[in-house]
């Protein structure tokens, strides 16, 4: 998950367009280098930890079309001027259902301050900032919760770790009993270890994949938020 101070430059990351298949990426826009169209094959990785895939742009377009995503080919080497009278030329690729940020609360608060009561205005302005900060924090938490769906424990790393340890502990408690101790003796340790892997491998892979996809999605939302603040 990229910190906001890193979003002023180009993030050095590597992702695969196939992650757009995940529901957590529904608000993500994929930009493809138009130079890919002249390539016979393009390699994408990581498809998994140790596997990459070669595919041509025609097949990639078919895949994106099948999941309802457009193929946005742009010149990634171009550096068009952007200003008040020249909005970003990529604004049209932002999904229409991306949640919009609320208006600045400070403007609405200061607009009702009496003109001739300077001390009152100072007091109100002093109160607005922490309220704004609280609202911003709540907005970030709401965005994170929405993107996580059924896995809200990602918000709290401590609870996330405790949940994983709890799953492991439950398997251990089920396996370590007097009957198994008498039956397997010294071999019980390796049997319990194998059963933990067998019971939790698929679930842990799903949890880690959800965590990764959540990082991608929230990094995208943070990038949109940072760009809007700079405009």
Structure confidence by residue, pLDDT tens digits, 111-140: 444 444 444 444 444 444 444 444 444 544
108 found inside a domain: no
Of 88, 76, 99, nearest in space to 230 by CA: 88
pLDDT tens, position by position, 42-63:
887 655 666 777 888 888 888 8
Q: Please report, for residues 20, 91, 164, 172, 189, the alpha-carbon distance to residue 175 in angstroms, rounded to integers and kept in the order given.
A: 39, 56, 17, 5, 10
71 found inside a domain: yes
Rounded Cα distance, 109 and 102, in Å: 14
189 found inside a domain: no
Lowest mean pLDDT across 16-25, 135-144, 172-181, 185-194: 135-144
Quote the distance between the C-alpha of residue 96 and its chain's center: 18
Rounded Cα distance, 112 and 163, in Å: 48
Range of the domain at 30: 4-96
Asked if 7 and 223 count as a contact pair (C-beta separation under 8 A), the reply is yes
Q: Tell me the average pLDDT across 165-194.
A: 82
pLDDT tens, position by position, 195-216:
888 878 888 887 778 777 777 7
Q: Which pLDDT value is given to residue 225?
A: 67
117 found inside a domain: no
Of residues 144 and 161, which shows the higher confidence score?
Answer: 161
138 found inside a domain: no
Burial class (CB in 10 A: 0-12, 13-18, 19+), 217: buried
Q: Which pLDDT value is given to residue 213?
A: 76
26 found inside a domain: yes
Of residues 14 and 122, which shows the higher confidence score?
Answer: 14
Q: Please report, for residues 166, 179, 184, 200, the alpha-carbon distance to residue 172 in angstroms, rounded to integers and kept in the order given.
A: 10, 14, 15, 11
Q: CA 139, 159, 150, 68 torsion: positive or negative? A: positive
Q: Which pLDDT value is given to residue 15?
A: 64
124 found inside a domain: no
pTM: 0.37
Q: Which pLDDT value is given to residue 207?
A: 78
Structurally, the chain folds into a number of domains equal to: 1
Instruction: Say yes or no to pLDDT of 72 above 80.
Output: yes
Q: CA 219, 223, 224, 228 torsion: positive or negative? A: positive
Average pLDDT of every residue of the chain: 68
Of residues 104 and 67, which shows the higher confidence score?
Answer: 67
Rounded Cα distance, 231 and 229, in Å: 6
Asked if 188 and 180 count as a contact pair (C-beta separation under 8 A), the reply is yes
Instruction: Say yes or no to pLDDT of 151 above 80.
Output: no
Q: Which pLDDT value is given to residue 193?
A: 84
226 found inside a domain: no
Residue 28 has a CB neighbour count (10 Å cut-off) of 20
């Amino acid at each position: 998950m990229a910190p906001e101070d890193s979003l002023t430059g180009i993030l050095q990351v590597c992702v695969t367009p196939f992650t757009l298949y995940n529901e957590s990426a529904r608000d993500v826009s994929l930009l493809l280098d138009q130079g890919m169209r002249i390539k016979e094959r393009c390699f994408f990785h990581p498809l998994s930890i140790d596997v990459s895939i070669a595919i041509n742009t025609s097949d990639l377009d078919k895949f994106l079309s099948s999941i309802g995503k457009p193929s946005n080919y742009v010149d990634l080497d171009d550096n068009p001027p952007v200003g008040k009278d020249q909005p970003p030329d990529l604004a049209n690729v932002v999904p229409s259902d991306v949640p919009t940020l609320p208006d600045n609360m400070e403007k609405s608060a200061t607009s009702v301050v009496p003109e001739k009561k300077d001390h009152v205005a100072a007091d109100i302005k002093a109160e607005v900032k922490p309220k704004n900060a609280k609202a911003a924090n709540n907005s970030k938490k709401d965005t994170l919760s929405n993107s996580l769906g059924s896995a809200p424990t990602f918000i709290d790393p401590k609870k996330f770790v405790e949940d994983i340890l709890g799953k492991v502990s439950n398997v251990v408690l089920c396996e370590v009993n007097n009957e198994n101790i008498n039956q397997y003796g010294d071999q019980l340790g390796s049997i319990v270890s194998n059963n933990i892997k067998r019971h939790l491998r698929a679930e842990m892979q799903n949890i880690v994949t959800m965590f990764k996809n959540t990082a991608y999605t929230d990094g995208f939302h943070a990038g949109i938020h940072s760009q809007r603040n700079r405009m």
